Amino acid sequence: MQELAKEAGITVRTVRFYRERGLIPPPRREGRIAWYDEHHLARLRTIAALLERGHTLNGIADLATAFESGRDVGEVLGLGEPTEETPVRLSPEELADYFEGEVTPENLAAALDLGYLATDGDEIVHISRRLLDVSAALVREGIPLAVVLDAGRRVRTHADALAELFVGMLSAHTPEGGADRLRPLAKSVVDAELSMAMDRLLRKTPDR
């Protein structure tokens, strides 16, 4: 514990307090010797970084609980890596920087449940660079992250239905592999229709 505290730049008393609060996992024991490793050090550094960003210890404990209950990368990816999306690896403090003040246990749990986020050891993996950047941009514009995540959940339902429609149509009327090869055409149809639908709606309800 003394060596861990020295590496983390904190006191042994603080390490003991964090352990008692459940903020760091218990050490591996061999007889009377307690072994701490890089995982414990990474967790201590994350706690320090989140404290600097204004999170409370209670809030960090709740975040840790949500983080540890999340699905790992293998479970989220399922059959394999996304074919057109680039996953992004983030530390918990980097995620907090993306969504300043919005990384709450509730939002983290919602993102984990959606499969936007997954865990990989001490890292968080966002399944899509594009979704990460767009979500962060919307939050910077003043839209609460909880609202963005709820919209994502609703969009997922419609996207699944659209994917089923196009994959069924293309698979039925093109040679084997045609559905995958022609997916850009399907995406263009959806993009054009969404653009025109927004035009129609915005003309009816102009910004005030």
Mean confidence (pLDDT) of the chain: 87
Copy the structure tokens of residue 93: 């403090």
Say yes or no to pLDDT of 96 above 90.
no
Q: Give dist(CA 108, CA 110) in Å, integer.
A: 5
Q: Please report the pLDDT score of residue 45 as a whole number.
A: 87
Residue scoring higher pLDDT (50 or 157)? 157
What pLDDT shows up at residue 142?
Answer: 95
Share of the chain above pLDDT 90, in %: 38
Question: Are 42 and 90 spatial neighbours (Cβ–Cβ below 8 Å)?
Answer: no
> What predicted TM-score, i.e. pTM, was given to this entire model?
0.77
Task: Find out whether 166 and 178 touch, Cβ atoms under 8 Å.
Answer: no
Is residue 87 within 8 A of residue 125, CB to CB? The reply is yes
Question: Backbone dihedral region of 54: left (phi > 0), alpha (psi from -120 to 50 degrees) or beta?
Answer: left
Q: What is the per-residue pLDDT across 107-166, written as a single tens digit (0 to 9) for each?
A: 988 998 888 998 887 788 899 999 999 999 999 999 999 999 999 999 999 999 999 999
Cβ atoms within 10 Å of 129's Cβ, excluding its own: 12
Weakest-pLDDT range from 74-78, 137-141, 172-176, 181-185: 74-78
Q: Which residue has the tokens 């246990």?
A: 105
Q: What is the pLDDT of residue 56?
A: 86
112 and 71 Cβ atoms separated by less than 8 Å: yes
